[in-house]
Amino acid sequence: MSHLKTAMITALLSATALVASPVVAKDLRIALQSDADVLDPDQSRTFVGRIVYASLCDKLVDITPNLEIIPQLATSWTTSEDGTSITMQLREGVVFHDGTPFNAEAVAANIERSQTMDESRRKSELASITSTEVTGGYEIKLNLAGPDATLLAQLADRAGMMVSPTAAAATGADFGLNPVCSGAFSFTERVAQDKIVLTKFEDYWNADEIHFDSVTFLPIPDTTVRLANLQSGDIDMLERLAATDLTQANGDDSIVVDSAVSLGYQGITFNLNNGEKGDNPWGNDNRLRQALSYAIDRVALNQVVFEGAFAPGNQSFPSTSPWYNTSFPVEPANIERARELLAEAGYPDGIELEVQVPNSTEPLAVMQVVQAMAAQAGIDISLTSKEFATLLSDQSAGDYTASQIGWSGRVDPDGNNHQFATTDGGINDSKFSDPKMDELLNAARVASGTAERKALYDEATAMMLDELPRLFLYHVNWIWAYDAKMKDFTPYPDGMIRLEGVTWEE
């Protein structure tokens, strides 16, 4: 073959390779609906924070899109016959971002931190663990107070995220300023309300599945601005595309839209006994909270704000969940009953209510519709818009009367209820407390079978709908939109963005 022919063939092959759009590494830019709170798995509570953790902090176990528990840092586990211990085999060859080795001692240190650190919100999630035993370099035994049907699901979330014991011991409650975990990306930089930058961790145990040099998370509260930035190429992906923007996104060939039904809820949380502000009419009388619930037409709310793309809801589980209490279906608004309850509570001429609401598009739209519906019953709602991390901080501190807030949902029903509704729940910002509720939700954690647990949750749900420390409104569909050059993204019902196996093709 002549040198000329060889050169021509080489050129053609090169051109073909370019047309084939090879996989490339790049810096991925993801727009979030709000900024994350503190980047410490033991202290944090925001949904967007969990999205960041999906790249930053590996967990002991993870879930599949079908909600099955699968290995991550723990490769296998066995539960004792009496259900009072779980022995885990741990992945070898894993290091934290600071070079500290991951092993059984590190797991024991993480569980101790989650259970004992004053600022930890994970205490109630891990309350069933009475002690840990390091039974080998990569084997640990979790001793339990009794059977705990929820524990593995907790370890598939923040309670199971492993942080470097070295960094945690050195920084204490300030760990979140420079978090050190063992995930696919390490922490590089954070500018509040602007960006969180993570860089690929070259020593990651599953590095072959990571195809981005870095990932930058950008808080952009306005849904229209998020989509405009995606269409202009300023970002590569956004989470929570507005239902009202679906038509526009679907009509753009350069954009892919994916969705998954959420495990969680959106609603209004009331301050019942959280500091001085808990001593208010709305916190002191459940009839007022019931009146507001009767005033809301949840089906109309879904149609008006979300064009019917979401699901009306009145419980912590969607109606499609096997845990839903069918004795209490979503009902139309009943303005007459709402007015009766206001009168019974001593407010025949109406009452005012201040609700704090996140300063992003959809929450504001939701509460404006609720505001109009409530007015028909004589409830005058005023809205105070706040940046989401500030709203959460004020809610935790008890500096609120009512708060429009939701929960992204958990695989096990315990995760949607226990920490919100038990007396010492880690994120019980209402400070709702009832011994009967504690009894029911604690019993559901150790019940032997699904039927027994369902009966307990049914009774607890009936109590929740009577007391209404949380007033449920709807259940979202997670909707992602991203550049069509991004390939192999898998939507999960928990709303997380998992980047393993995701590639970029120019």
- Angstrom distance (rounded) from CA 226 to CA 467: 38
pLDDT of residue 19: 44
- Angstrom distance (rounded) from CA 331 to CA 76: 45
Strands 265-270, 185-191: parallel, antiparallel or unpaired by DSSP?
Answer: unpaired
Instruction: Provide the token pair at 177.
Output: 């300023």
Tokens 């339990």 belong to 144
**Which mean pLDDT values do the consecutive 10-residue runs of the chain (506 residues) have?**
43 44 78 96 96 98 93 97 96 98 98 98 94 98 94 96 98 98 98 97 98 98 95 98 93 96 94 97 98 98 94 92 94 98 98 96 96 98 96 97 94 93 95 98 90 97 98 95 98 95 96
What value does the CA radius of gyration of the chain take, rounded to a whole number of Å? 24
pLDDT of residue 22: 56
Where residue 355 falls (left for φ over 0; alpha for ψ -120 to 50; beta otherwise) is beta
Q: Which residues contact 442 (CB under 8 A, 6 or more apart)?
A: 418, 422
pLDDT of residue 23: 59
Question: What are the phi and psi torsion angles at 48 (to 5°)?
Answer: -65, -30
- Angstrom distance (rounded) from CA 47 to CA 30: 14
Tokens 């390939």 belong to 487
